[in-house]
């Protein structure tokens, strides 16, 4: 059961990374236009190079 | 944040659409915001962005499909008015929005706050669930205790942070000695934490940390959906309001100055230019013009205006500049007296209790009594306060309104989203539920069923030479009738005759010289004709009897379809207008409406709607004018088009963003479906409770059963709501 000593901190750390990533996406306005983002993926503009 | 998350009791529409704010300075970084009610797909996005980016002066344009908006970064001298035709040529309807009002919603603090709490609850519950699953699958003794302690260490701070909205709401309800949905929620969360801590300290088998967190997570999800739907509607409604900047031109010793309407006083001289709206009640001191009173009275015929005539705030000046002396300002204007009528009528509507409130009223006391009874019962039976408390907590957790909390917001979000895609904005939380009950539809005529723009009806009756002269005269004026006449004539391939020295005589018409003879196009008495009861412009050529160009108000797109759909659905359709008998009768005949009333005063409209309500009818009022506001507020539910006056939009529950009326009938259909889904959801939640509650009361519930019941019911309810999309 010593493995728990590693596994539990790791699982907590990974959960924390997920939370921080989510907070980052909220702060950078990535949920402002969910429908538009879903539709934009269908457009073939900027497929060859990223939008400047 | 406390105000937005109460479970659907913000009753007055005025709280949701706040009144126009004073004009604010445009920020340095020039941004133009356009509302695009017609966009719906990826092709629309790229086309709009391409068109806008190709326009000189535009630095960057980005479309937001969720809000149906385009945000444009542009050179300082570029106006929204320059871009709207560009989009209209590409086939997209566009309206200007105030970027100042938008920036308030972009950094939407309350929404983000809720989202953060939701995220913390979500991540904490995932971690705790992981530990709980190990406990359920057989961890025992010291391992189980350790897992429980770690769960407690995660759950306590996470709940202290993320469940705050519930604590705040429950406290504010308890303080005024009332029960709302949040009271049982908070009780369940707190009791679950306390008993679980106690159990953990005593190395007990069952801890409900995961249940407390999942509960918080699902409930926050419901709150967030609810908030998002309403915030989107609120911001858009505010944008519409922000379109009208209340400014006026005051004359002081013959010098013009721009002031805000609020600073005008009685006795001030106010200059109203053609196309402008009267800011105050007053008397015309000088100038001649015609007035469009349709927004106030529903009359389509412009009224001749000259010195001595009394004008009311809200009337539109059509042709010549007018100077008026203010006789009533601000609160005393007829416009505001109308708003008072609205306030009286509104108190009736706030009595409506939403389905969620009804459920909460039944539910909250029931749950408390059940939980208390099982506590007392078990204490008497076993004499062990620990067992009794554990069972009471299990009952509270299992009955906790997880699914109930999601039942309404999940459905309203899906339904509002669907209606928003069709160009309708649901402003009021219970509007959909009320719309579903409608059995009578009352329409206003001018500006609602008709578009408010005149249309020439008898082009074919005139000689070509007359049309040529009329076109030449019409093109010298910006009067709505002239504009319409010129457009019809041009479309028919008429070319203007060589009329010289054309001058517009404000309030009368246009005159000029054609082959040395005086020709006039304008009001009947000015051209020497007899006035009829139809909207008409008269053409007089020296030595001949004047001929009349007759106009009727053109039908709004989708009006016929909407009326037809309502009739097919078995609803009574009534037309009430302030316009003349003839005009109303003609329109009613065209649309096949049997029940119509003409020359109705604003009070008559409201009284008629009130009468219908007293007979037990559920009335949907569709109107746009100031004369409709009282009726809009008195009706069970109301809709106004985006072109409506500010006051009318504030008084109505739903705003139609596009120009087409046909989505209205569809909205009723969606509302009926939405209410059906809400009831289904309540039933689903009840069924889960019926199965799980006896287990909990009998003391057989484990944290696993609680987690299963809670998650499955919440997910079933959300999936059921998604069927509506």
Model confidence pLDDT, tens digit, residues B382-392: 888 888 888 88
Six token digits for residue B309:
């005539």
- Fill in the DSSP letter of residue B448: I
The domains found in chain B, sorted by start residue, are: 32-107 (3.30.70.100), 452-554 (3.40.1110.10)
Provide CB contacts within 8 A for B253, sequence distance 6+.
none
Query: Which pLDDT belongs to residue B27?
Result: 43
**How close, in Å, is residue B162 to chain A by CA atoms?**
13
**What percent of chain B lies above the pLDDT cut of 70?**
87
Q: What is the ipTM of this complex?
A: 0.81
Question: B272 with B292: CB under 8 angstroms?
Answer: no
CA distance B482 to B485: 5
Six token digits for residue B409:
């917001």
User: For an interface test with B, which of A14, A39, A46 has the most B Cβ atoms less than 10 Å from its Cβ?
Assistant: A39
Phi, psi (deg, nearest 5) at residue B79: -110, 155
Number of neighbours of residue A3 by Cβ within 10 angstroms = 7
Residues in chain A, overall count: 52
- Say whether pLDDT at B644 is over 90: no
Chain B residues closer than 8 Å to A4 by CB: 143, 146
Phi, psi (deg, nearest 5) at residue B90: -80, -5
**How close, in Å, is residue A49 to chain B by CA atoms?**
16
Question: Residue B444 catalytic?
Answer: yes
Number of neighbours of residue A51 by Cβ within 10 angstroms = 5
- Say whether pLDDT at B155 is over 90: yes
Query: Which pLDDT belongs to residue B578?
Result: 79
Per-residue pLDDT of B477-493, as tens digits, reads 777 788 888 888 888 88
The CA R_g of chain B, rounded to the nearest whole Å, is 32
- Say which of A15, A31, A32 has its CB closest to residue B127: A15
Per-residue pLDDT of B390-432, as tens digits, reads 888 888 888 776 777 788 888 888 888 888 778 788 877 788 8
**How close, in Å, is residue A20 to chain B by CA atoms?**
10
Q: Which residue of A has its CA nearest to B232?
A: A32
CA distance A13 to A11: 5
Provide CB contacts within 8 A for B397, sequence distance 6+.
B188, B192, B208, B211, B212, B215, B696, B706, B710
User: For an interface test with B, which of A33, A38, A46 has the most B Cβ atoms less than 10 Å from its Cβ?
Assistant: A33
- Say whether pLDDT at B697 is over 80: yes
User: For an interface test with B, which of A13, A22, A47 has the most B Cβ atoms less than 10 Å from its Cβ?
Assistant: A22
Mean of per-residue pLDDT scores for chain A: 83
Query: Which pLDDT belongs to residue B121?
Result: 93
Per-residue pLDDT of B33-61, as tens digits, reads 887 877 878 888 888 888 888 888 888 88
Write down the catalytic residue from B145, B281, B292, B444: B444
Q: Which residue of B has its CA nearest to A4?
A: B143
A34 and chain B in contact, CB less than 8 A:
yes
Per-residue pLDDT of B204-252, as tens digits, reads 888 889 888 988 998 898 888 888 777 766 666 665 554 454 667 888 8
Question: B411 with B678: CB under 8 angstroms?
Answer: yes
A21 and chain B in contact, CB less than 8 A:
no
A46 and chain B in contact, CB less than 8 A:
no
Pairing of strands B440-443, B572-576: parallel
User: For an interface test with A, which of B119, B220, B235 has the most A Cβ atoms less than 10 Å from its Cβ?
Assistant: B119
Q: B80 exposed, middle or buried (CB, 10 Å; 0-12, 13-18, 19+)?
A: middle
CA distance B280 to B720: 52
Query: Which pLDDT belongs to residue B240?
Result: 58
- 3-class secondary structure, B643: coil
Cβ distance of B66 and A35 shorter than 8 Å: yes
Strands of the B637-641 sheet, one edge to the other: B424-426, B654-656, B637-641, B619-622, B440-443, B572-576, B595-597
Range in B153-157, B256-260, B374-378, B643-647 with the lowest mean pLDDT: B643-647
- Say which of A12, A41, A43 has its CB closest to residue B46: A43
Per-residue pLDDT of B548-580, as tens digits, reads 888 877 788 888 888 888 888 888 899 988 777
Rounded to the nearest 10 degrees, what angle do helices B141-162 and B164-175 cross at? 60
Q: Which residue of A has its CA nearest to B153?
A: A12
Q: Domains of chain A: which residue ranges?
A: 3-32
**pLDDT grade, residue B152 (50/70/90)?**
very high
**DSSP collapsed to 3 states, B109-155:** HHHHHHHHHHHHHHHHHHHHHHHHHHHHCCCCHHHHHHHHHHHHHHH
Chain A residues closer than 8 Å to B116 by CB: 23, 26
- Fill in the DSSP letter of residue B27: P
- Say whether pLDDT at B30 is over 90: no
Question: How many A-B residue pairs are in contact by the CB < 8 A criterion?
Answer: 56
Q: Which residue of A has its CA nearest to B41?
A: A39
Question: B191 with B393: CB under 8 angstroms?
Answer: yes
In the stretch 123-162 of chain B, residues with CB closer than 8 A to chain A read 123-124, 126-127, 130-131, 143, 146, 150, 154
B112 and chain A in contact, CB less than 8 A:
yes
Query: Which pLDDT belongs to residue B117?
Result: 92
- Say whether pLDDT at B20 is over 70: no
Chain B residues closer than 8 Å to A23 by CB: 116, 119
Q: Which residue of B has its CA nearest to A40?
A: B42
Rounded to the nearest 10 degrees, what angle do helices B164-175 and B109-136 cross at? 110
B259 and chain A in contact, CB less than 8 A:
no
Query: Which pLDDT belongs to residue A17?
Result: 92
CA distance B362 to B356: 10
Per-residue pLDDT of B438-480, as tens digits, reads 899 998 887 788 877 778 888 778 888 888 888 888 887 777 7
CA distance B547 to B719: 66
Query: Which pLDDT belongs to residue B120?
Result: 92
Query: Which pLDDT belongs to residue B322?
Result: 85
- Say whether pLDDT at A45 is over 80: no
Strands of the B547-555 sheet, one edge to the other: B450-456, B547-555, B536-541, B517-522, B509-514, B500-505
Provide CB contacts within 8 A for B327, sequence distance 6+.
B266, B280, B281, B282, B283, B310
Residues in chain B, overall count: 725
Six token digits for residue B52:
């806008």
Overall average pLDDT of the B615-636 stretch: 84
- Specify which of B208-212, B357-361, B515-519 reaches the highest per-range mean pLDDT: B208-212
- Say whether pLDDT at B160 is over 90: yes
- Say which of A4, A26, A33 has its CB closest to residue B115: A26
Q: B286: number of CA atoms within 13 Å, CB side?
A: 4
Cβ distance of B130 and A39 shorter than 8 Å: no
- Say whether pLDDT at B161 is over 90: yes
- Nearest partner of B70 among B89, B53, B91, B90, judged by Cα: B53
User: What's the predicted TM-score (pTM) here?
Assistant: 0.71
Chain B residues closer than 8 Å to A39 by CB: 41-42, 45, 65
B304 and chain A in contact, CB less than 8 A:
no
Cβ distance of A36 and B65 shorter than 8 Å: yes
Mean of per-residue pLDDT scores for chain B: 80
Number of neighbours of residue B126 by Cβ within 10 angstroms = 19
Six token digits for residue B589:
């005949």
Range in B271-275, B682-686, B720-724 with the lowest mean pLDDT: B271-275
């Amino acid at each position: 059961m010593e493995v728990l000593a590693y596994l539990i901190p790791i699982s907590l750390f990974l959960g924390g990374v997920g939370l921080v990533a989510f907070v980052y996406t909220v702060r950078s306005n990535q949920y402002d236009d969910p429908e538009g983002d879903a539709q934009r993926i269908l457009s073939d503009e900027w497929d060859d190079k990223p939008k400047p | 944040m406390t105000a937005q998350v109460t479970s659907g009791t913000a009753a007055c529409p005025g709280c949701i659409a706040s009144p126009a704010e004073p004009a604010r300075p445009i920020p340095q970084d020039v941004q133009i915001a356009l509302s695009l009610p017609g966009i719906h797909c990826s092709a629309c996005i790229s086309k709009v962005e391409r068109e806008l980016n190709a326009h000189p002066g535009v630095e960057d344009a980005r479309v937001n499909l969720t809000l149906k908006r385009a945000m444009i970064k542009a050179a300082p001298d570029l106006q929204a008015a320059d871009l709207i035709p560009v989009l209209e040529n590409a086939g997209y309807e566009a309206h200007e929005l105030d970027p100042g009002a938008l920036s308030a919603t972009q950094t939407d603090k309350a929404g983000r706050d809720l989202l953060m709490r939701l995220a913390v609850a979500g991540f904490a519950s995932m971690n705790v669930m992981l530990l709980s699953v190990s406990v359920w699958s057989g961890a025992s003794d010291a391992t189980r205790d350790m897992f429980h302690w770690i769960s407690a260490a995660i759950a306590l701070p996470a709940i202290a942070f993320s469940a705050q909205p519930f604590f705040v709401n429950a406290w504010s309800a308890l303080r005024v000695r009332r029960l709302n949905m949040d009271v049982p929620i908070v009780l369940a969360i707190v009791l679950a934490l306390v008993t679980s801590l106690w159990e953990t300290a005593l190395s007990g088998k069952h801890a409900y940390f995961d249940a407390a967190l999942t509960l918080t997570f699902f409930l926050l999800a419901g709150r967030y959906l609810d908030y998002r739907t309403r915030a989107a509607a609120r911001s858009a409604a505010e944008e519409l309001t922000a379109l009208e900047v209340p400014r006026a031109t005051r004359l002081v010793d013959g010098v013009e100055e721009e002031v805000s309407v609020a600073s005008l006083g009685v006795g001030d001289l106010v200059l109203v230019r053609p196309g402008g709206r009267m800011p105050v009640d007053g008397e015309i001191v000088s100038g001649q013009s015609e007035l469009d009173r349709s927004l106030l009275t529903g009359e389509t015929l412009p009224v001749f205006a000259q010195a001595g005539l009394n004008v009311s705030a809200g009337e539109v000046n059509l042709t010549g500049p007018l100077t008026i002396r203010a006789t009533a300002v601000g609160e005393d204007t007829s416009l505001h007296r109308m708003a008072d009528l609205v306030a009286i009528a509104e108190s009736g509507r706030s009595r409506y209790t939403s389905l969620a409130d009804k459920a909460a009223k039944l539910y909250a006391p029931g749950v408390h009594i059940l939980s208390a009874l099982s506590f007392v019962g078990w204490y008497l039976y076993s004499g062990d306060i620990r067992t009794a408390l554990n069972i009471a907590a299990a009952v509270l957790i299992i009955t906790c309104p997880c699914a109930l909390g999601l039942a309404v917001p999940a459905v309203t979000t899906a339904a509002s989203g669907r209606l928003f895609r069709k160009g309708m904005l649901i402003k009021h939380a219970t509007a959909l539920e009320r719309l579903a009950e409608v059995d009578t539809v009352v329409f206003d005529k001018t500006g609602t069923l008709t578009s408010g723009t005149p249309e020439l009806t008898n082009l074919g009756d005139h000689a070509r030479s007359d049309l040529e002269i009329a076109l030449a005269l019409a093109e010298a004026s910006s009067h709505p009738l002239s504009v319409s006449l010129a457009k019809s004539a041009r479309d028919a391939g008429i070319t203007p005759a060589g009329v010289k020295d054309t001058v517009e005589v404000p309030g009368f018409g246009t005159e000029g010289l054609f082959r040395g003879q005086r020709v006039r196009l304008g009001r009947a008495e000015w051209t020497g004709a007899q006035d009829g009861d139809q909207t008409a412009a008269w053409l007089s050529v020296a030595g001949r009897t004047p001929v009349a160009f007759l106009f009727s108000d053109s039908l709004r797109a989708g009006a016929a379809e909407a009326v037809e759909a309502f009739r097919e659905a078995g609803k009574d359709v009534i037309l009430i207008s302030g316009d003349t008998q003839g005009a109303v009768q003609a329109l009613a005949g065209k649309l096949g409406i049997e029940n119509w009333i003409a020359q109705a005063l604003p009070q008559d409209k409201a009284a008629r709607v009130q009468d219908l309500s007293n007979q037990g009818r559920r009335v949907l009022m569709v109107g746009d004018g100031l004369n409709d506001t009282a009726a809009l507020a008195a009706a069970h539910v109301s809709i106004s088009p985006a072109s409506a006056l500010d006051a009318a939009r504030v008084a109505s529950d739903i705003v139609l963003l596009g120009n087409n009326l046909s989505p209205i009938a569809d909205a009723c259909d969606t509302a009926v479906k939405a209410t059906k889904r809400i009831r289904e959801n309540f039933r689903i939640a009840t069924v889960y409770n019926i199965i799980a509650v006896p287990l909990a009361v009998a003391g057989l519930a484990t944290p696993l059963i609680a987690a299963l019941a809670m998650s499955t019911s919440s997910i079933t309810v959300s999936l059921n709501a998604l069927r509506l999309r």
